[in-house]
Amino acid sequence: MIKIYEAKDYQEMSRKAANILSAQIILKPDCVLGLATGSTPIGTYDQLVEWYEKGDLDFSKVKTVNLDEYRGLERTNDQSYYYFMHEHLFDRVNIDPANTNVPDGTEPDAEKECERYERLIDSMGGVDIQLLGLGHNGHIGFNEPAASFAQKTHCVDLTESTIEANKRFFASADDVPRQAYTMGIGTIMRAKKILLVVNGEAKADIVAKAFFGPVTPEVPASILQFHNDVVVIGDSAALSKVPR
Ligand code: GLP
């Protein structure tokens, strides 16, 4: 079941999302957080850091698993998701780096790395709450529109539209990696709770399609309609095409 909450702007969306994540951390200090990258969750991380600095949050026992990573990027590359997570969250709070996990994009053996990652999530007891953003084509993690839903962590070929959308972070489109390791749709669906954040008018069409259209692997996020605990927090612009 999907519950949709409207926030008036990006800041309010970020605060609401951070509130939900912080409630999870307070209720279960050693919880497993599934984390996401992209521009959307940056404000959520900033808010968590602010509350940590005020003494309201303690990450010392928190464990994390990230959704995805570009294949072939070194951790020191400022476009790697490993780098992103350290920059926006891990290096700013008292989390134990040993408790943080991002797929290893530098492992050339895709099958080996994806298998390791999937087993790691299982060994942690699964994800308590998975934070998600939403791609313009409906992707979650790096699960691109496809003929079927992927069960497990796997290696994907990024679509032209994703390369196009993400090139703003790289020197040119040619520098965007063509592949990524990502949790599968099945991996994401096994999370106990899901929290999806989305903002901006450019996402309004895909929000309506994903949450009010047919469930299809051509719109990967549409599968969330079949999860029993999903919260979507969108700003007014992103929710402007939701049927009322
Ligand atoms: C990226 C990430 C996704 C993210 C999406 C949207 O490709 N792999 O996890 O949700 O794109 O990004 P943004 O929030 O910048 O729009």
For the chain (244 residues), the mean pLDDT of every run of 10, in chain order, is 97 98 98 97 98 98 98 94 98 98 97 98 98 96 95 94 89 92 98 98 98 98 98 98 92
pLDDT of amino acid 161: 87
CA distance 126 to 118: 10
Q: Ligand 1 centre from 50 Cα, in Å?
A: 23
Run of H or E residues at 110: helix 110-123
Cα–Cα separations (whole angstroms), residue 205 to 24, 38, 141, 182: 30, 19, 19, 24
CA distance 11 to 16: 9
Q: Ligand 1 centre from 206 Cα, in Å?
A: 13
pLDDT of amino acid 108: 96
Cα–Cα separations (whole angstroms), residue 21 to 34, 73, 210: 10, 29, 23
Nearest CA to ligand 1 atom 5: 135
CA distance 191 to 63: 14
Strand segments, DSSP code E, in 36-113 are 63-66, 68-70, 100-101
pLDDT of amino acid 165: 87
Closest CA to 197 of 22, 24, 35, 49: 35
User: What's the predicted TM-score (pTM) here?
Assistant: 0.97
CA distance 215 to 148: 11
Cα–Cα separations (whole angstroms), residue 38 to 58, 164, 166: 24, 14, 9
Q: Could you confirm whether 144 is annotated as catalytic?
A: yes
State which ligand 1 atom lies nearest to the alpha carbon of 133. 10
pLDDT of amino acid 88: 98
pLDDT of amino acid 244: 83
Counting ligand 1 atoms within 8 A of each CB, the residue from 42, 139, 156 with the most, and so the one to mutate, is 139
Q: Ligand 1 centre from 107 Cα, in Å?
A: 22
DSSP characters for 191-228?
SSEEEEEE-SGGGHHHHHHHHHS--BTTBGGGGGGGSS
Q: Which protein residues are within 6 Å of ligand 1, measured from CB? A: 36-40, 67-68, 133-135, 141-142, 162, 166
